[in-house]
C-alpha cells in the first residue's frame, strides 16, 4: 500500500474502493498530480533499489516478479494523468505534462541504467533454461532482458548518461509537439456566415456545425473545426470551393505556423536525437533499431511491403483523378483538380458509379446503434455482454461506462466510451487503459477506454456516422477487446503490450464485421423511422468497399514512406523537415492532387511520443494479417464460426504478448499469413 507523504490527503494515492476500483474522478483536480507523482517516483525508486541491492542470489521471484509488482503507484497516477492529458486536458494539465514527461523518461532511464539490477536480469537470462520456468515466465524474462538491453543496459556510464539525456529531451519535445498541434486545432474555426456558405452540406453536418458554433460561443451560426470528424465531411460535401480550400489549407498546415506552435524544428531535432540514440545502441539507423524488435525485423522488409502497394495505388489514383477531372469538366468547371477537390468529387463519382452517397447512408448509422453493433459482435464471437453503468464518477459528462461480463457470468472488465470531439481533447481516435489486466497477486480486472472525436449533434438529435466513422468505432473497439479479454499473469505481457506491427491486427480484423449483412440488417436502422437499411443499399455499400482505394492507399503509404525515410538516414545532422518531405515525395512521384494523410509537422503518430516512429507502416503490415485472417472466417461459411472464434480468442485477444506474434497468428490461422488477401482487399488484385 502506498504511504502518503504529502501534507494533505491525496485521492490519487489512496486505495480506490469504488466499483472496479475506478479512479475517483470526482475528487481529482490538476493540483493533486504534482505531489502524487513525487510520492510515486520515490516509492518506485525505493522498490528498484531494494531489488537491485538484495544480497541473495537472484531468482525469478526476487527479480522479475518483484519488478512486475513494483511501481504500482506510478502506474496508477500516470494512467489517470496521461489519459486526461489526451482526452480532457487544460492549461494546468499541459503545464504539468511538460514537466512530468521528461522526468518520467529520466526515471525510466535510471532504472535501465542500474548496473546491479541488470546483472541480476542478465544472470537469470543466461540460466533461463535451467530455472524451471513455465512458458509465460520464460517470455516475461526474455522481454525484460530485451527491454533493458534496448535501453542501454550494459553500456559504458558515459553512453548511459547520454541515452538518459536523449530520452529526457525526446519526451519533452514529443509533449510540446502534440500540444502545438492541439493549439493549432483549437485556434482555428471556419465560421459559415450565410446560407450560401452551407451549400451542399447534408442536414446532419449542418446540425453538427451549429452545435460546434454554439459550443464556441457563436450561437445562431455554423462552424467547422480541424477535427477530422468536422473538416473531412465538409471537404466531402461543401459546394463552396473557396471554403473547401480555406479549410483544407488550414488542416494541412497544422504545426507549420511559423510561430510559437511551429513543429518543424522540433521534428528535426527528434530525428537527429533518435539517430544518435540508435548509434549508441549499436545500430546504423533508428529505423534498424526500432524494427529489430518487430515482426518485420528490418526496414527493408517494411519498405518491401509499402512498395508492393505504392505503384498499383498510384496507378489507380491516376485513373480516378482522370475521372474526377472529367466530372469537373462536365459541370463546366474551368480548373484543375486540387487536393481540396478530391473528396468532394469522389463523393459525386461514388454516387455515379455505385448509386451511393453518404447522405443516404448516414441516417442509418446512428452512433448509439453502432455501439450496440460492436457489443453484439463481441457477444457473438466471444460471449460477452455489456451493461451500462450510471453510478460511476467519470472524467467528463460525455463519457459512458459499461460492465463487461463473460459467457460464464464473470465480470471481466470495465469499458469506458468517450465518443465526441471537444476543445479539451486531442484529435484522432485511440484506445487506452486506466488499469491493465494481470493476476500476479490475484485477479486484477482491466479498465479500458476508447476515445474518439465524432461531431456532436444538436441537443436531442442523433449523432450520425459516416461509414468510415463506423469503421473507426469498430477499429478502436477491437483494440479495447485486446485489453479487456487479456488473460495473462504478468503486467508486462498484458493486453496490447505487443509488437507495434502486430498490435493493429486485432483492431483491423474487428472492422470486417461491420460490413457483414447480418450486422447491417440488425443495427443499421434509420434514426427517425427505425426502418432497416434497404437490402439494395447494403449491397451497394459492400460493392463500393474498394472505391477510392487508390487515394486512401497513396495518402497512407506516403506518410509511412516518409516516416521510414526520415529514420533510415544514418546522419540526419542538418535535416530540415519540410524540404526533406518535399524531396522525398518528389522522389516517390507523389500525385499533386493528394496530400499525405499526416504531414510531418502534425504527424503525431511518430512525433507525439515514440509509439509509431519508423513504424507507421505497421497499419499496412497488420492489414496483411487482418485480410488473411478474416478470409479464414469466410472460408468456414460462418463469419461467427465458434471454433475459429475460440482460436482467435485464445491465441490473439486473450494472449497479450505471451507468445511471439508469428506464433500467435499461426495458432489462430493454422499457417503463416500471405499477402494476396491484402491486395484483393485493396482492389489491386482479382477478388
Is 475:511 a contact under the CB 8 Å cutoff? yes
Neighbours of 185 (CB within 10 A): 26
Q: What is the CA radius of gyration of the chain?
A: 25
Q: Residue 242 has which C-alpha cell?
A: 473557396
For residue 147, with 0-12 CB atoms within 10 Å meaning exposed, 13-18 middle and 19 or more buried, which class applies? middle
Angstrom CA distances, 10 to 27, 100, 286, stand at 9, 18, 41
Are 601 and 262 in contact, with CB atoms under 8 Å apart?
yes
Q: Which one, of 270, 232, 493, 521, lies nearest residue 376 by Cα? A: 521
Q: Please answer whether residues 369 and 347 qualify as being in contact, where contact means their C-beta atoms are separated by less than 8 angstroms.
A: no
* Cα dihedral 298/301/304/310 (nearest 10): -70
Overall size of the chain counted in residues: 687
Burial label for 475, CB within 10 Å (0-12, 13-18, 19+), is buried
Decide: helix, strand or coil at residue 123.
helix
Cα separation, 22 vs 445, whole angstroms:
11
Q: What is the DSSP secondary structure assignment for residue 412, as one 8-state letter? A: E
- Return the active site residues: 476
Strand-pair partners of 34: none
Grid coordinates belonging to 186: 483549437
CB atoms within 10 A of CB 12: 25
Amino acid at each position: 500500500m502506498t504511504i502518503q507523504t504529502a501534507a494533505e490527503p491525496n485521492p490519487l494515492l489512496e486505495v480506490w474502493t469504488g466499483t472496479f476500483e475506478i479512479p475517483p474522478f470526482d475528487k481529482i483536480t490538476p493540483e493533486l498530480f504534482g505531489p502524487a507523482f513525487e510520492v510515486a517516483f520515490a516509492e518506485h525508486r525505493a522498490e528498484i533499489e531494494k531489488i537491485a541491492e538484495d544480497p541473495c542470489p537472484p531468482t525469478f521471484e526476487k527479480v522479475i516478479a518483484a519488478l512486475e509488482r513494483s511501481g504500482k503507484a506510478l502506474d496508477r497516477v500516470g494512467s489517470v494523468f496521461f489519459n486526461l492529458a489526451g482526452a480532457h486536458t487544460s492549461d494546468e494539465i499541459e503545464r504539468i505534462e511538460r514537466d512530468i514527461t521528461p522526468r518520467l523518461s529520466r526515471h525510466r532511464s535510471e532504472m535501465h541504467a542500474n548496473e546491479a539490477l541488470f546483472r541480476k536480469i542478465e544472470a537469470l537470462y543466461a540460466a533461463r533454461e535451467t530455472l524451471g520456468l513455465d512458458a509465460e515466465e520464460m517470455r516475461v524474462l526474455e522481454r525484460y532482458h530485451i527491454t533493458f538491453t534496448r535501453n542501454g543496459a550494459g553500456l559504458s556510464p558515459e553512453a548511459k548518461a547520454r541515452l538518459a539525456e536523449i530520452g529526457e529531451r525526446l519526451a519533452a519535445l514529443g509533449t510540446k509537439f502534440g500540444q502545438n498541434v492541439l493549439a493549432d486545432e483549437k485556434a482555428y474555426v471556419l465560421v459559415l456566415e450565410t446560407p450560401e456558405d452551407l451549400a451542399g452540406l447534408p442536414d446532419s453536418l449542418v446540425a453538427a456545425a451549429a452545435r460546434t458554433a454554439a459550443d464556441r460561443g457563436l450561437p445562431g451560426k455554423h462552424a467547422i473545426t480541424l477535427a477530422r470528424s468536422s473538416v473531412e465531411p465538409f471537404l466531402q460535401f461543401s459546394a463552396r470551393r473557396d471554403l473547401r480550400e480555406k479549410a483544407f489549407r488550414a488542416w494541412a498546415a497544422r504545426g507549420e505556423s511559423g510561430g510559437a506552435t511551429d513543429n518543424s524544428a522540433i521534428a528535426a531535432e527528434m530525428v537527429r536525437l533518435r539517430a544518435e540514440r540508435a548509434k549508441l545502441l549499436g545500430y546504423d539507423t533508428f529505423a534498424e533499431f526500432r524494427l529489430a524488435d518487430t515482426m518485420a525485423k528490418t526496414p527493408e522488409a517494411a519498405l518491401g511491403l509499402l512498395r508492393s502497394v505504392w505503384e498499383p495505388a498510384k496507378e489507380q489514383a491516376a485513373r480516378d483523378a482522370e475521372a474526377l477531372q472529367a466530372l469537373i469538366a462536365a459541370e463546366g468547371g474551368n480548373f484543375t483538380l486540387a487536393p481540396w477537390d478530391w473528396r468532394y468529387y469522389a463523393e459525386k463519382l461514388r454516387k455515379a458509379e455505385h448509386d451511393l452517397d453518404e447522405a443516404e447512408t448516414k441516417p442509418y448509422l446512428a452512433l448509439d446503434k453502432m455501439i450496440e453493433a460492436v457489443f453484439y459482435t463481441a457477444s457473438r464471437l466471444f460471449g460477452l455482454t455489456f451493461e451500462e453503468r450510471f453510478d460511476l464518477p467519470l472524467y467528463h459528462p460525455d463519457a459512458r461506462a459499461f460492465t463487461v461480463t463473460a459467457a460464464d457470468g464473470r465480470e471481466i472488465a470495465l469499458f469506458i466510451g468517450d465518443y465526441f470531439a471537444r476543445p479539451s481533447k486531442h484529435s484522432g481516435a485511440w484506445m487506452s487503459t486506466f488499469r491493465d489486466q494481470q493476476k500476479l497477486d490475484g485477479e486484477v480486472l482491466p479498465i479500458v477506454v476508447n476515445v474518439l472525436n465524432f461531431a456532436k449533434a444538436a441537443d436531442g438529435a442523433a449523432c450520425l456516422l459516416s461509414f468510415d466513422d463506423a469503421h473507426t468505432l469498430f477499429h478502436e473497439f477491437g483494440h479495447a477487446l485486446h485489453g479487456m479479454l487479456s488473460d495473462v499473469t504478468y503486467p508486462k505481457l498484458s493486453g496490447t503490450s505487443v509488437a507495434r506491427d502486430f498490435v493493429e491486427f486485432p483492431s483491423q480484423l474487428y472492422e470486417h464485421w461491420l460490413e457483414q449483412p447480418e450486422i447491417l440488417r440488425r443495427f443499421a436502422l434509420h434514426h427517425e423511422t427505425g426502418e432497416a437499411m434497404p437490402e439494395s443499399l447494403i449491397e451497394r455499400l459492400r460493392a463500393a468497399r474498394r472505391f477510392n482505394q487508390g487515394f486512401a492507399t497513396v495518402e497512407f503509404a506516403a506518410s509511412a514512406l516518409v516516416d521510414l525515410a526520415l529514420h533510415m538516414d544514418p546522419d540526419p545532422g542538418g535535416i530540415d523537415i519540410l524540404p526533406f518531405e518535399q524531396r522525398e515525395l518528389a522522389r516517390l512521384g507523389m500525385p499533386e492532387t493528394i496530400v499525405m494523410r499526416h504531414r510531418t509537422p502534425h504527424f503525431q503518430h511518430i512525433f507525439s511520443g515514440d509509439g509509431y516512429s519508423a513504424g507507421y507502416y505497421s497499419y499496412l503490415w497488420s492489414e496483411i494479417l487482418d485480410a488473411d485472417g478474416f478470409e479464414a472466417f469466410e472460408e468456414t461459411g460462418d463469419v461467427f464460426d465458434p471454433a475459429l472464434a475460440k482460436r482467435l480468442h485464445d491465441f490473439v485477444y486473450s494472449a497479450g504478448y505471451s507468445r511471439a506474434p508469428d506464433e500467435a497468428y499461426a495458432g489462430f490461422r493454422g499457417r503463416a499469413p500471405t499477402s494476396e488477401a491484402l491486395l484483393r482487399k485493396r482492389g489491386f488484385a482479382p477478388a
